[in-house]
Structure formats: C-alpha cells, structure tokens
Amino acid sequence: MENAKLEFPEVVGHVVSELTIYDDPISGREVLVRFSDGTQLSICINIRQAVDARYCKDDTPDVPIFIRRQ
C-alpha cells in the first residue's frame, strides 16, 4: 500500500446532511456522505481490498470533483 491514509481537506467544515452505508455482496460497501452545500463524498470499500473515494455534487454524482484511490 503506497499511502496508508486518505485525507479529504476539501470537506473540512462542511455540514453533513446525510450519511448512508450501502452493502453490496458483489462490489462491496459504499459509505456516502452528503453535505448541505450539494456535494457528496462517496467511499467504496471493495472486496479486492481497495478503497476508492470520489467527491462530487449531488446533481452530477458521475462527474467527480476529485477521485482518490488506495
């Protein structure tokens, strides 16, 4: 593992409006944090033991502001 820690300074100070954990037996778990400013942070924990996270707007979740992988 290159980097043992993922940091998200972009979301510091944002107000959380929703926190959801999805569990998919095939693709793994996803933690979705929606913020009151219309952005969201999605953290996927895949069964291949990799962590993918993307930060995006609620109305365009498929167009990430940034993606981090570990």
The predicted pLDDT at position 15 comes to 97
Of 68 and 11, the one with more pLDDT: 11
CA distance 39 to 37: 6
* Domain extent for 34: 19-59
Whether 50 is covered by a domain: the verdict is yes
> Which of residues 17 and 58 earns the better pLDDT score?
17
Q: How far apart are CA 13 and CA 56, in angstroms?
A: 16
Number of domains in the chain: 1
Q: Is residue 42 part of a domain?
A: yes
57: CB partners within 8 A, 6+ apart: 38, 39, 40, 63, 65
Q: Is residue 12 part of a domain?
A: no
Q: What residues form DSSP beta bridges with 19? A: 33
Judge whether 10 lies within some domain: no
Q: Examine residue 11 and state whether it is found in any structural domain, yes or no.
A: no
Q: Is residue 6 part of a domain?
A: no
Does the structure show a pLDDT above 70 at 55? yes
Question: 2-52 pLDDT, tens per residue?
Answer: 667 889 999 999 999 999 999 877 667 889 999 999 999 998 876 665 677
